Amino acid sequence: MKLLYFTDSHIRGSTPKSRKDNYVETLKEKFKEIIETAKSENIDYVLFGGDLFDRPDLSLSIVNEFIIYLKELPLPIYCVLGNHDIFGQNPSTATRTVLGILDTLGIVKLINYNEIIYLQRNNIKIQLTGCPYYYNIDTSPEREGYIVNEKKNCNFSIHIVHGMLLDRPFIKGIPHTLIDEIADKTFADITLCGHYHTGFGIKKINEKYFVNIGSISRVSNTLSEIERTPSYLIIHIDNKIKFDVRNLKCAKNGEDIFDKNILMQEEFKEQKLNEFIQQVNSYGSFEILNIESIIREISIREKIPDDIKNEAIRRIGEAQMLLSSKEGML
Ligand SMILES: [Mn+2]
């Protein structure tokens, strides 16, 4: 049996800020390549990890442009809902989304939570389950979205999930789940994950595989995204499992699609802001959060001339006025 898996395509009608190419055209090339591969290599089933669309109510003209590719496959793509496919991180809004409509039309097959699907080819039978993204997938005590409780009447079990599964601890304050937390609990032989666009590759723990090969799209201008080549995965299954991660041939060089100057400017801004915050903090904790008082205090300690101090206060006043008039317009 041969399966093809890819994730996080983020279909949208506009080009993300700081990308230099035409995002829609680039993404079409990727779909073409993946669908062509699925057909020419006789892939039995195509699986998808969520975030097919960048928003749940994407304009129908863009949806239409991409359905053409999906419809070329003889079978619907088996997929889970990503956070971008639904409203308010709530999978029960699916019927109101474009992905929900594609499910009704039979162009994709949404795997519902607790649903068990069997995929068969010759003498190989796979138990396929999935879990969509939901608001506390990475904070609930049992992390049940990642756990397959039972494996029966099959050779192997595959679970697709859209959540922040990671191989190592991540930035504090960003909810995530570590492979180590679920590896002993799940019965899935392969856990296919989307959501974390950088991906962590393929990890094997206790004869179980945990996979996130990363998004096929690069939507944010960060160093890791510039250096990453988007890829898809072929899974060969007979009496054992074999993976073949393939870089998309049509994917352009990161340096050619992202503007490194913008990245550097953003980093510079961030750095200056952090310096400013540190500087303010270094004067001790201010009990009063009135910015004018903070400026006055700093200028006394640093012996800053009055005209500079007054200019700073004047500019802050202007900025505050601008902000409040903008808020008034909303
Ligand atoms: Mn995503």
Cβ-based neighbours of 128, under 8 Å, separated by 6 or more = 47, 78, 111, 116, 117, 118, 119, 157, 158, 159, 160
Crossing angle between the packed helical segments 291-301 and 306-329, to the nearest 10 degrees: 160
The contacts of residue 192 (CB under 8 Å, 6+ apart) are 5, 7, 47, 49, 158, 159, 160, 161, 211, 212
| Euclidean distance between CA atoms 136 and 130, whole angstroms | 16
Q: What is the pLDDT of residue 329?
A: 46
Is 87 found in the same domain as 197? yes
Between strands 45-48 and 77-79, the pairing is: parallel
> Cα separation of 174 and 195, whole Å?
13
Residue 306 shares a structural domain with residue 190: no
Does 187 share its domain with 314? no
pLDDT along the chain (330 residues), means of 10: 98 88 96 97 98 95 96 95 94 95 97 96 96 95 97 97 95 90 97 96 96 95 88 96 98 88 75 72 59 79 87 82 60
Which residues are found with C-beta within 5 Å of the ion, ligand 1?
Answer: 8, 51
Ligand 1 center from residue 196 Cα (angstroms) = 7
Q: How far is the CA of 155 from the centre of ligand 1 (A)?
A: 30
CA–centroid distance, 13 to ligand 1, in Å, is: 16
Same domain, 307 and 202: no
Task: Show the domain range for 266.
Answer: 259-329
Same domain, 265 and 251: no
- Tell me the whole-structure pTM to 2 decimals: 0.81
Listed residues 224, 256, 288: the one ending a domain: 256
Same domain, 228 and 298: no
* Shared domain check, 125 and 65: yes
- The tally of domains found in the chain comes to 2
Q: How far is the CA of 137 from the centre of ligand 1 (A)?
A: 15
Report the C-alpha gap between 106 and 71 in whole angstroms: 9
Distance 283 CA to ligand 1 centre (A): 41
Claim to verify: residue 151 and residue 204 sit in the same structural domain: yes
The dihedral sign for the CA sequence 9, 11, 15, 17:
negative
- State residue 330's pLDDT score: 44
Q: Which residues pair with 78 in a beta bridge?
A: 47, 109
Residues 76 and 65 in one domain: yes
CATH of the domain at 44: 3.60.21.10
81 Cα: distance to centroid of ligand 1 (angstroms): 10
Considering just the CA atoms, what is the radius of gyration of the chain in Å? 24
DSSP string, 161-225: EES-EESS---TTS--EEHHHHTTT---SEEEEES-TT--EEEEETTEEEEE---SS--S--HHH
